[in-house]
A and B are shown apart, each in its own frame.
Chain A
């Protein structure tokens, strides 16, 4: 029984580049949410998708975008990377309100 999976596990980019992070939810879960976790802080909500539609967006700039595919997997895209985008990016899937997190993608922007 596979849990939430994310790829890649680690990523190093330079300022100005863009990045695509991927998430596969638990089988049967139709909702995927993305969070940014800066070191020493709690996760910050970025996006939620349900049935391929955006259901909510947190206080993040337009450089951040996401989408959900027919198989409910999701991608998070970040353009024009800044040093401050360095963080752990977590994906969470849910069937009801309970969220289960993936292992995250650790992004370092140099």
Chain B
């Protein structure tokens, strides 16, 4: 999406290593940032989200950090497993809209056994 930049576009890690995906957004009014995982031929599935009143959120091996001043947020996956291999998308809302999102261009993560 034009207002969300995502890096890297591809990422290969050894099983057990960590993976980090970064996104930047432009609209300072944005206040909710979801991350989706999309396996080949399947729908995007929400894996974690963060609201602007917190700086970090964890769910088992997955964490998201948010820096509102710098307008960037990151996805961290620790102890990666082969089943983590997929395309990951970040998203940010279009201004103050409720359910309208700009998506990043995606990161194709490959976890090598």
Number of A-B contacts (CB under 8 A): 68
Chain B residues whose CB sits within 8 angstroms of the CB of A40 once the complex forms:
106
Verify B46–A99 contact, CB threshold 8 A: yes
- B34 with A41: CB separation less than 8 A: no
A32–B99 Cα distance when bound, in Å, is 8
Nearest residue (CB) in B for A43 is: B103
| Inter-subunit contact A90/B93 (CB<8 Å) | no
Interface size on B, as a range, is 20 to 34
A44 lies within 8 A of chain B by Cβ: yes
Distance between Cα atoms of A104 and B42 in the complex (Å) = 8
CB distance A31 to B44 under 8 Å?
no
Q: With A and B bound together, what is the CA distance between A72 and B2 in angstroms?
A: 29
- Complex alpha-carbon distance, A81 and B36, angstroms: 29
Min CB distance A96 to B, Å, is 8
* Interface residue? A26 (CB, 8 A): no
- Interface residues in B13-53 by Cβ distance below 8 A to A read 32, 34, 36, 42-46, 49
